[in-house]
Amino acid sequence: MSSTARNASKKNIFKPMSEIDLTSREVSHQCGVTMNDSVEARAIAEFMEENNPNVTVTYNPATIRIDGEGKLIFKMDEITEYLGREMTAEIFEVNTSTHYGRMVRVDDNTVILFGDMNEVMEFI
């Protein structure tokens, strides 16, 4: 990550390798998406950051990362209102270049990312 991008977001969820204990069996419950930088991605990132205190947004030169703990719920109708034009689950998925955690499209309005694999079982 560039220092410019890190300074812009004032946050960094990444640890240096010297701080990572590879012998630990501790499970992370984080989840997140990486989106190509676009008007839609910026609106989604801003909306999520404003409405969820557990969200960390990192602006990189060409991408935007949205990370959270436990689960992230993306409501298309709320994002549509914030963006000022229609956001559908399909448009959301096209803008998402990658994700981690389990992504579940609950219905046409709701996409949820789960960091806790046990919690996603009701949708499988």
Q: Is residue 22 part of a domain?
A: no
Is residue 67 assigned to a domain?
Answer: yes
Q: 95: Cβ–Cβ under 8 A, 6 or more apart, which residues? A: 35, 36, 38, 40, 41, 44
Q: What is the per-residue pLDDT across 67-110, written as a single tens digit (0 to 9) for each?
A: 999 899 999 999 999 999 999 999 998 889 899 989 999 999 99
Domains: count for the chain? 1
Per DSSP, the chain holds a count of helices (H) and strands (E) of 4, 7
Q: Retrieve residue 61's tokens.
A: 């030169």
Residues 28-81 have pLDDT tens digits of 788 999 999 999 999 999 999 999 988 999 999 899 999 999 899 999 999 999
Q: Is residue 15 part of a domain?
A: no
Q: List the CATH number of the domain containing 33.
A: 3.90.56.10
What is the residue range of 96's domain?
A: 28-119
3-state class (DSSP) for residue 33? strand
